[in-house]
Amino acid sequence: MSASARVDTIQMDDVSVRFADTDVLRNVCCSLPARTTAVIGENGSGKSTFARLIGGLARADSGTVRVLGLDPARETAALRRRVAVVFSNPDAQIVMPTVAEDVAFSLRSEKLPRAEKTRRTQAALERFGLTALADRPTHDLSGGQKQLLALCGAFVREPDLVIADEPTAFLDARNARLIADRLLKNGSHRVLLVTHDLDLAQRCDQAVLISQGTITAVGAPGGIVKAYQELLVC
């Protein structure tokens, strides 16, 4: 693909987001072409707001945002079809009584034949190791299983971009690795991952450092994590 034809996953030009007279994001400019991107930075620096903006869940007060070539503020329906968002609290995303029903529910607005929805649901359950739990009540699942289910519900729609905001925050090391493996595994989907787990950030293709509402560095994860660690000891 030629450089001119390339549609970067995320592009922002001079973007600011204000809450109650405070600029939570300030004059953010970026162009993020990599398949997987980690977003790191201190508590309250603006990472979730950045992710919400990209997922069409927050609005910019000024500037231009493009996600997969779409304007999230104006092309919301098209964005919803192509982008899935997963948060650290899976309870907020699980709505149906059983595991299989919950995954299938994610396909409710897809115009697909019933057989194709069943095929996709079964394939997603298999991919996330949830087949044996298909008929289990969702409220009986462990935290790690719920997080896998939330991710499964995102992936069953076959999104072009998955935005995951601290998806491993409450998980033990084994489940965190499982979720990370499923999320970052090679595939056609792109990933924007907000995380405080710097080892996980280093598994991405590129990283973004946000500090006090501004992107202060973008590049290979090793260098960005080092810059962040230096910032933390200052």
Query: By the criterion CB under 6 A, which residues form the site for ligand ATP?
Result: 19-20, 24, 41, 43-49
Residue 36 CA to its chain's centroid (Å) = 10
Give the count of beta carbons closer than 10 Å to the beta carbon of residue 66.
18
Q: C-beta of 166: minimal distance to ligand ATP in Å? A: 7
Looking at the Cβ atoms of 21 and 230, the one nearer to ligand ATP is 21
Looking at the Cβ atoms of 46 and 90, the one nearer to ligand ATP is 46
Give the count of beta carbons closer than 10 Å to the beta carbon of residue 109.
11
Q: C-beta of 40: minimal distance to ligand ATP in Å? A: 9
Contact between 210 and 39 under an 8 Å Cβ cutoff? The reply is: yes
Looking at the Cβ atoms of 104 and 192, the one nearer to ligand ATP is 192
Looking at the Cβ atoms of 17 and 125, the one nearer to ligand ATP is 17
Looking at the Cβ atoms of 47 and 157, the one nearer to ligand ATP is 47
Q: C-beta of 45: minimal distance to ligand ATP in Å? A: 4
Distance from C-alpha of 85 to C-alpha of 96, rounded to nearest angstrom:
18
Strands of the sheet containing 62-67, edge to edge, are 22-32, 10-19, 62-67
Classify strands 10-19 and 62-67 as parallel, antiparallel or unpaired: antiparallel
Q: C-beta of 212: minimal distance to ligand ATP in Å? A: 9
Nearest to 149 by CA among 117, 175, 174: 175
Q: C-beta of 18: minimal distance to ligand ATP in Å? A: 9
